[in-house]
Amino acid sequence: MSRLALPSGQRAAPQQEQLDLFRALPGDMAPRDAQDLMAYPFFSLAKSRRVAPIDFVSGPITIRVEGTLEHGIATIWDADILIWAASQIVQARDAGIPPSRRMQATPYEILRFIGRGTGSRDYQRLKAALDRLQSTTVATSIRETTGRRLHRFSWINEWKELADAGGKPLGIELILPDWFYAGVLDAALVLTIDPAYFRLTGGIERWLYRLVRKHGGKQENGWQFDFRYLHQKSGSTAKPYDFACDLRALVAKQSLPGYVLGIELVPDEGRELLTFRPVPPTARG
């Protein structure tokens, strides 16, 4: 459930008292994404509610994501709010303005940035996304030096709607987890993404763009992944055959902004490889 504004005279939670409030910066800015979130399966790719946990293990990397029966696991569309937050933090840092994990903005500012509508229904969906982000729990060994300990957190520690004494809405306040915030403050762990990302409608499509942007980057010769490895890394609940069909459809569609997808067959091994390379700047519209 969302947290409402505190009644007049009631003390704020200790965590709020210890954190400075960062007011979202106005104006357009480049979308920034956290590389850890781009490289690993942290979000549900389905639009329907997912309650089955995401479990991923690869070498020293361990990830377990769990949701509640009421809200389910946060989706890759919900993660747009974290992209907005990361973009605000990086913009403030680069401008010499102290950012904070405690952020305040209007729903209009968030919805406009992530390419959504700004009507009452969109506001309700935004609140539902915040609820999923808060109720989703993550345990991961990423950035733990020994690889044995797990850092546990929710994507949003807490959030509330703000109102004045007369009940007039003033916006939303949220507190980000330290794990996410620390990764965004590290310039090496953040990448700029194409604003057209927000127009991608499919869950696997969105996940694949983020993975391609993370691994393909600006490398002239691009990159490639085995279909089976992609299925594992996506955390998708789709069957391998169906997942492969989705990848082939995306290759045919060529909808990932800034990249060209392809398929290479390895006949002797019965494998398919997804290839991707950046579109030359002169070829972009």
pLDDT for 170 equals: 83
Q: What is the overall mean pLDDT for the chain?
A: 89
Task: Give tens-digit pLDDT for 102-141.
Answer: 999 999 999 999 999 999 999 999 999 999 999 999 999 9
Backbone φ/ψ region at 82: left (φ over 0), alpha (ψ -120 to 50), beta: alpha
Q: CA-CA distance, 191 to 67, in Å (whole number)? A: 27
pLDDT for 165 equals: 80
pLDDT for 164 equals: 79
- Tell me which fold the domain 196-283 belongs to: Arc Repressor Mutant, subunit A (1.10.10)
**Helix/strand/coil for 124:** helix
* pTM of structure: 0.90
Q: Report the candidate in 12, 184, 215 with the shortest Cα–Cα distance to residue 85.
A: 184
Q: Pick out the chain residues at pLDDT < 50.
A: 1-14
Q: Report the candidate in 223, 217, 220, 209 with the shortest Cα–Cα distance to residue 275.
A: 223
Residue ranges of the chain that CATH labels 1.10.10.10: 196-283
pLDDT for 239 equals: 94
